[in-house]
Structure 1
C-alpha cells in the first residue's frame, strides 16, 4: 500500500477536524442541562459547537458528554481505544480482554473504583484526567496522520459472549474508512435547511451509535443526548419542539413504544409525521406496526448491520410497496448464497461479505476462503432487494438489539444439570433477558428444581453480559418430558415455535419481573 493510498483513507478524526473547520460555530451536540449534579432531563439542553467539541477532544475536560471525548481524545493522542460496555460488569472478563490486547491503561468511571483492585495495568478514574492532562510534562499532541489500511484504530467487542467471553473486534484503517463512507450515505441530510438535528441511539461502546455518530459529524449535524436510551415519548416531544429534532434514530423496540402512544394521541402522531426520518435498527419491526407507520405517512427507514461489519443494508424508503425492502450500501461487495433451514426446509439466502469488500472484518472472523459468513438469512423479493428472515444459528437479539448465544447457555445447563434436565431451549428474542425452558428428568418439585438450576448455572452466567444472564427463577420454566415442539427430521426443539406457543406465558413472566424490578 503506497503512502498516497493511505492518505486517501478517512478516519473518525479526519471527519472531526474537517467538520470543525466547515461547521465551527454550528451546534454539534445538545446535552441535558445539569442542576446540582442531577442529569435528569428537564426540558433544557446545553449547546456544544463543533469548534468547542474539537477543543474538548484535544484537552478532555469534565463535561457530560465525557464518553465521546475520552474515545476521540484517546484516539487523538495516538492510542487505540478498546471500548467496554457497562453491560459487561464482571471485572475478571474485562481484565482478560485487556491482557489479550496488551492494553497500556484502563480509564474507568469513578463508580467502578471498587471493581478494579486486581487490574494489572495502570488505571485512572475519569475524574483524575482533567488534572493529569493539564500537566505540561505531557507535551503536545502528535501530528494527525492518515491511518494505514491495516492499522488497528478501535477495538470493539461482539455484543454477545462466546463460551463466557466476548470476542475482540479490531477495526482497521481500511474498515474505518468504509464506515465513514457508508455512514455518510445513511446520515445524508434530510432537512430543508441542510442541517439535521438527530439523537443519540445507544452506547458509543457499541458499533451502532459509533457508526451513526461518524455519519452525522461528517455532515455537520446536531446530535441531542437524551436522558436515557429508552427515552419517553414526552421527552421526544420536547426534543422536537425545543431542539428542532427532525431525525429520530432508535432501536425498533423503543420506537414501537412511541407508535403505541401515537395511536392514542393525535397531536403526538402529528409530531412523528413532521419528522424527516424515523430510522430503526436491531430487531425487525413487527409487521402490524410497520404497516401502521406507512399508512399514517411516517417516513420510516431501516438499517441492517452488525458489530463485525457495521451498517450493511438500508431500506428503499418512500411510500411504495417496496419501501421496507433492504439493499446493500454502495461501495460494498456482498453475495447472497442459497441455504436451507432445518426448521422448516425453506430455502433462504445467507448474506456473505466478500474479502474484497472494504468492510470485511479481520481474518480471525473469516472462513478459509476469506469470506465472512454473517449467518443472516434473507429472501430476494425483487432483483437486488431483500427481506430479512432471521438467522441460521443459535444467536438471538435482546430488547436492546444485543446478541445472546443461546446454545452456550443450553450446553452449560445440560453440563451442570444433567441429572435434573432431559433437554432445554433458551428463548427471548426482543426480551430484556433470556428465558430457559427445561424438560424435567426427575420428579423433583418444580420450584426446587428451578432454584437448583439457577444456583448451578450462576458461575457461568456471572461472566456474561447483563442482557444474556438468567437471574430469576421466574425465567426458568419447567415442562414435562418431550412436550416442547420439535423438528420432524432430527427432533431438535424448535426455538421460534416455542417463542410463539408460550408467548402469553412469557409476556406475563417479563411483566411480573418488570413490576418487581
Structure 2
C-alpha cells in the first residue's frame, strides 16, 4: 500500500468533496460592464488532470523524473499559474519580478537546487534559449484535450521531509534571492495552521482575496490551505484596493473575508474614516486578517472603536502562519497568541536591548524582556535544514514582547533584514553595505542602509575623503553609483540604489553607534534622520 505522505492527497480529496463550490473568482471588465467569473473545485480538478498528464509526458520526453526539481517561471497573475504549480512536478517558482534580475540569476538558482529543466510562460520566451537547460513553454489550457478514460500519473512516493515546492526570499543576498524549500509535512501542517487563523463563524462559504502574486508563497499556497474547508480565493485586479474595486469585489464576487498586508489595510481604514459605504463593507466582513507589519496605534484604536472584525497575523516564508490575535477580543491588538498546534519557544534575546529599538516601536513597549521566536527542528513547520540558522531549529529574526500572559506583540527585527518597498519585501541590508564597502573602499569609510517599512531604501555614507562643496558631494555620489552598478543590476527593484537622491553623505563618525562594539545602529539612524528621510520619500512621490 502506497504511503500518503505527499501533500496533494488531501488536496485532491478536497477537490472531489467540494466539487460544486467555486474555488477561484475573478473580476473581468471595467465600470458598469464589470462582472465576475468563477471556476469550481471540479473545473480546477479537470484542468489539473489534463495539465498533469501533459507535464508527465512532456517532462519524461526530456529525461525529467517526477521527483526532479523543475523551474517554473510564471507571471503570477493568471489562474493558469496555479494549475501549473500543482501539476505534479517539484516546482522552483520564479515570478514576474525575476525579469529584472535576468536569466543568469534564474540559472544560478536552478543550479543551486539541482533543477533539471525550466517551464516558462510564453511571454518570457525570447530570453530562454540562453539558459542551457531543457525548457518548455506552458500550454494554453484550452488546447489540452479533456482527460476521458486515460490513466493519470500517480503521485510519487515521498518522505514527509522531502521538498514539495521551492520559493525564494523576497530580498537578495549578494545579488541573489535565497531558495526556500518547503516540505510535504510543511504543506500539510500549513492547512491546519490556516484553520487556526480563521476564526469567523457563519453559514456559507468563506471567500478570501489573494495576497499578491501567485509566484510568491502567500498566494501560491492558498489553494492548498483553503481547500480543506471548501473556501474560495477571489483574485485582486492589478489596481489593488481602490474604492470601486472593493465595492465590486463584495457585490459581484461575494468577498466576505480580507487578507491584507498592513499598509493595504491602513489605506482602507483611511478611506473608511470618511466613506460610510467603505466602512460598512469593512464592518460586514467575517474576518480581516492583516500581516507583514504593525498598524500605527491610531489605526488600531479606530479598529476597536468601530468594531472592525480584525486579527493581526505573524507569518514568514520559512515558517508560515504562527501567531494570531483573538477576533473576539479586539482590545488586545496588536498582541498575538500561538496558533493551535504550532511548536515554538520564546527565548530571551541577547542581541538587542529595548533602548536600541526604533523610536516608534520603543514607544509601544512596556519595558519588558524582548524575545527571539524559535521553531524547533521537530516542528512540522520548521524550515528545510538547508535554511535553518541553528542546528536544533530556526530563529525567525523577529523580536517579541510578552504584553500579557501568553500574548506577544511584534517589536521589530534583530538582524540585518528589513522590509521595504511598495510590497514591504525583505531586503538584506548587510549585503548592500558589504558591497559598498568592498567596491567603494576608496570612497567609503562606513555606511548603513535604512528604510524599514518605508517606500525605498536609503544609503547613509561616512566618506573616506574630504568633500568641502556640493559639487564634490555630487561627484562622490556619482562615483558610488558607478562602482556599484553591476551589483545593483542583480538586485530586486525594491533593493536597488540607483538615484543620488537616495544617498545621504554625513560627517565621518557622526552616525549613532552601539556602546559595546561601535556598530552603526540602523534603527537609531532612521530616528535621527526621520525628517530628512520623510523629505526624500515625499520627493519620490512627486
Normalising by structure 2, what TM-score? Answer: 0.85
Q: CA deviation at 1:364?
A: 1.9
State which of 446, 450, 470 in structure 1 corresponds to 2:473: 446
Is 2:523 the counterpart of 1:496?
yes
Q: Please say if residues 460 and 505 of structure 2, whose CA atoms lie closer than 8 Å, have aligned partners that are also in contact.
A: yes
Give 1:114's aligned residue: 126
Q: SS at the partner of 1:376?
A: strand
CA shift, 1:510, in A, is: 2.6
Q: Are the aligned partners of 1:183 and 1:211 in contact in 2 as well (CA < 8 Å)?
A: no
Q: CA deviation at 1:83?
A: 0.6
Q: For 2:256 and 2:160, locate their aligned partners in 1 and report how far apart those are by CA, in whole Å.
A: 35
- Supply the distance in 2 between the matched residues of 1:466 and 1:458 (Cα, whole angstroms): 13
Distance 2:145 2:187 in 1: 30
Report which stretch shifted further, 47-56 or 495-504: 495-504
* CA offsets 1:372-421 (integer angstroms, 9 cap, x no match): 12121111122221111112111101242321110110111111112222
SS at match of 1:264: coil
- C-alpha separation in 2, matches of 1:357 and 1:171: 13
8 Å CA contact 1:10–1:176 kept in 2: the answer is no
Change (3 A) 1:329 1:417: same
Q: Equivalents in 1 of 2:122, 2:499: separation in Å?
A: 29
Deviation at 1:106, TM superposition (A): 1.3
Map 1:94-493 → 2, pairs under 5 A:
94-127=106-139, 134=145, 140-144=151-155, 147-187=158-198, 190=200, 192-228=202-238, 230-342=240-352, 344=355, 347-367=369-389, 369-398=391-420, 399-444=422-467, 445-493=472-520
Larger CA deviation: 366-375 vs 349-358: 366-375
Offset, 1:10: 6.5
1:427 CA drift (Å): 0.8
More displaced 10-residue stretch of structure 1: 147-156 or 405-414: 147-156
Matches of 1:277 and 1:41, distance apart in 2: 28
In the alignment, structure 1 segments of 5+ residues that lack a partner are none
* Rounded Cα–Cα distance in structure 2 between residues aligned with 1:191 and 1:474: 50
Matched, 1:53 2:65: no
Q: CA deviation at 1:235?
A: 0.8
Aligned residues between the structures: 498
Normalised to the residue count of structure 1, the TM-score between the two structures is 0.89
Structure 1 Cα separation of the partners of residues 32 and 488 of structure 2: 34
Q: Secondary structure at the match of 1:103?
A: coil
CA contact (8 A) 2:271 2:278 kept: yes
**Cα contact 2:210–2:219 (8 A) shared by 1:** yes
Determine the C-alpha separation between the residues in 2 that align with 1:488 and 1:103. Answer: 47
- State the alpha-carbon separation in 1 of the partners of residues 140 and 133 from structure 2: 16
Give CA-to-partner distance per residue, 1:426-477, whole Å, 9 cap, x none: 0111223311111233344222222221121121122222222222222112
Farther-moved stretch of structure 1 (103-112 vs 139-148): 139-148
Segment of structure 1 superposing worse, 54-63 or 472-481: 54-63
State the alpha-carbon separation in 2 of the partners of residues 483 and 428 from structure 1: 19
| Aligned counterpart, 1:510 | 537
**Which residues of structure 2 form unaligned runs of 5+?**
55-73, 357-366
Is this contact kept in 1: 2:176–2:490, CA < 8 A?
A: yes
8 Å Cα contact 2:29/2:35 also seen in 1: no
**What is aligned with 1:26?**
21
